[in-house]
Structure 1
Amino acid sequence: MVKSFQGVRLAEPKKQSTSILVSDHMSTNLVTFHPDDTIDQVLDQLTKRKISGAPVVNEKGDLVGIISEVDCLKEIIKGKYSNTPSFPGTVSEHMSKEVITLSPDMSLFDAAKEFLDKRIRRFPVMKEGRLVGQISLSDVIRAFPKLKSTTW
């Protein structure tokens, strides 16, 4: 009988898997608008910050809508017909009030499916009734190349 002794084996450290939750890929430093802001103010911020939309919150910080470049186009077209160079319409007149939100604990794969199903470019992220971030289609697209095959 032959016995073999290989000595003490150290367990290989577990590889840290890249998180694939919405919370790890969402933006938390948000630009937000108030319902009484003008479309002029929105257009100024969207172009300065190179974003295409943002959540709308009231005085209490509650999410009441979302405003996008497409929503702003309504006021721009109205300005063209009235020959006015400014866009005094308010956010509350043009924002989308039916807002679909995601949870920060949602899988990024499930979020990707929501983007496909709803054909929306951004979702506010809510936790316990509070706005905690926003995830855009671009955030999701940027996240997937960083994921390793072991996390799939």
Structure 2
Amino acid sequence: MYEIGNTKIISLIDKSRPIGYSDDSIATLRKIIRTTGARALPIIDKNTGNFMGIIDRGDILIVSSTKTNAIASSIVKELPIELNPDIKIIDALELMFKYDKWELPIIENKKYIGLFSISDIVRFLFNNAKDYLKSLKAEDYMTKDPIVVSPDDPISKIWKKMVELKYAGLPVANEKQKLVGIITQFDLIKKGYTRVHFESESGIVKTTKVKDAMTYTVIYGYPWSTLYEISIPMVKKDYGRIPIVSSENDKKVIGIIDREDLAKIIIRGD
């Protein structure tokens, strides 16, 4: 894994990732995220061409109304760290874990070069360390006994949990703890939910449940699944997390593996 960790990140980035501009409306940014599935949008100053910051799915969700007059420059976040094109994977990963940021911009002379994402790491491992991933089992890398939500939980409750724990998605299970779906920030954006739906104590919140927004068709793994098998839907379908169930019969949720868990393989020096 030494050679993988010392590869420069510039060779990994997907240059086709979408961007936004400082004068784009929030509605425009929401549409870009909804149609492309982007987790984060680098924002470029329309006048200078300089990089301004990042707007992610969570930022889009907290805007209080789809009719807001806000533009990108009014909500864009400056990041605590930027990457240079020559930085190596291992060094970039350490910064990601240190600052708890899973998409970091590559900047040179204030100009945006590309977005380095934790998904780039997963794809790189998938393509360059297949045999090694096939030797590792999910049970040794998964987060055990993950937080699970009910189909009947109100969307407002789940949103607060996502914000508190910085989770982008949660498994959904029935009263027997059987996996029945997954709910993610992207699900909420696709269905058109915004902050007003999460904070209001009347109207839509009373009738809007997780089951109204969740994804019912969910790919899952088993404790004995290899990390290679787990990484396939992450790479092929850009899934951020894979629930782990006890068996095909009861499908009890006993763990979850996300992209960060796979990336830790490099950090750990495996």
What TM-score results when the alignment is normalised by the length of structure 2?
0.43
Moved more, 42-51 or 104-113: 104-113
- Number of aligned pairs? 127
Tell me, yes or no, if the aligned pair for 1:125 and 1:131 is still in contact at 8 Å. yes
Structure 1 residue 92, shift from structure 2 partner: 0.3
Answering whether residue 229 of structure 2 is matched by residue 110 of structure 1, we say yes
Deviation at 1:62, TM superposition (A): 1.1
Deviations 1:11-62 (A, max 9, x none): xxxxxxxx72111111113111111111100110011111111111111111
Provide closer, same or farther for how the CA distance between residues 20 and 144 of structure 1 changes in structure 2, counting only shifts above 3 A: farther
1:36 matched residue in structure 2: 152
Among 83, 98, 101, the alignment partner of 2:220 is 101
| Distance in 1 (alpha carbons) for counterparts of 2:193 and 2:152 | 17
Q: Which structure has more RCO (C-alpha within 8 Å, separation ≥ 6)?
A: 1
Q: 2:172 aligns with which of 29, 35, 56?
A: 56
> In structure 2, which of residues 193, 207, 222 is the aligned counterpart of residue 76 of structure 1?
193
Instruction: Point out the structure with max Rg over C-alpha.
Output: 1
Output the amino acid matched with 2:193: I
Separation in structure 2 between the aligned mates of residue 145 and residue 107 of structure 1, nearest angstrom:
19
How far apart are residue 69 of structure 1 and its match? 1.1
Whether the aligned pair in 1 keeps the contact of 2:156 and 2:199 (CA below 8 Å) is no
Unmatched runs of 5 consecutive residues or more in structure 1: 1-18
**Contact conserved, 1:22 with 1:107, CA < 8 A, in 2?**
yes
**Residue 138 (structure 1) aligns with:** 260
On the 8 A contact 2:145/2:253 being kept in 1, the answer is no
| Amino acid paired to 2:258 | S
* TM-score normalised by length of structure 1: 0.73
Who is 1:124 aligned against?
243
RMSD: 2.2
2:141 paired residue number: 25
